[in-house]
Structure 1
Amino acid sequence: MKDASYKRHIAKTITWRLVGTIDTIILSWIISGDPLIGLQIGIYEVITKMVLYFLHERVWFKVNLSKDGKILESRKRHIAKTITWRMVGTIDTMTLAWIVTGNPLTGFKIASVEVVTKMLLYYLHERTWYKINFGLPKRTNE
């Protein structure tokens, strides 16, 4: 089971990073007006976000949010994961955009817009993966 969960979390990390990087590149390009800045931020994020996302998945895999022995309902859990991931991701994006552009306001603008787009995309990603059995020995009702 341990090996399977790692494979699942690695696969989720890769698929989420593809979605997230495309979103970051497009938003950074629009806000900065420079497609190269969008690409630079996107490339740096591939590295930082893959590591951060994998760690986030491992923490949430070990978190037991049960009430009276019942596991927290999947939609509530996914909303909580969405919020915690977005906090981590927003700080990372803002920092990287600030470093790449040299302008903290540009970093703030990019991160602010991403809060909305990424939360929606992440929630949809979580719901999709909830329906996929890859890396699970059997489906558990969350």
Structure 2
Amino acid sequence: MDSTIRIIAKAVTWQIAGLFSMTVIGFLFTGSIVAGGGIAVAGAASGFACYFVHEKLWSKVSWGRDTHRV
């Protein structure tokens, strides 16, 4: 099992990799690093918000949960 600090480090490095790759993709489409970075930040923020809402909605669904475990 990973420690909490390891999980946080993995999440941060994953986010950095995602921001970098989205900046490059944004740059390729727009020709601007600033616009590419803006697209990356907006994508990260909207992805976080959508994931949060998605998790909140799924927390209300009981389908697939093993309720017999101790």
* CA-atom RMSD in angstroms: 3.7
Structure 1 match to 2:21: 92
Question: 2:48 — aligned with what?
Answer: 119
Aligned residue for 2:61, secondary structure, equals coil
Q: Deviations over 1:32-87 (max 9, x none)?
A: xxxxxxxxxxxxxxxxxxxxxxxxxxxxxxxx4589xxxxxxxxxxxx6xxx3871
Bigger RCO of structures 1 and 2 (CA < 8 A, at least 6 apart): 1
Partner Cα separation in structure 2 for residue 139 and residue 89 of structure 1:
36
Q: TM-score, normalised by structure 1?
A: 0.31
Report the equivalent of 2:66. Answer: 138
Total equivalences in the alignment: 62
Q: Aligned partners of 2:20, 2:59: CA distance in 1, in Å?
A: 26
Larger proportion of helix: 1
Rg larger in 1 or in 2?
2
Gaps of 5+ in 2: none
> Within 5 Å, which residues of 2 pair with 1:54-93?
64=1, 84=11, 87=15, 88-93=17-22
What TM-score, normalized by structure 2, do the two folds share? 0.51
1:27-42 to structure 2, matched below 5 A, reads: none
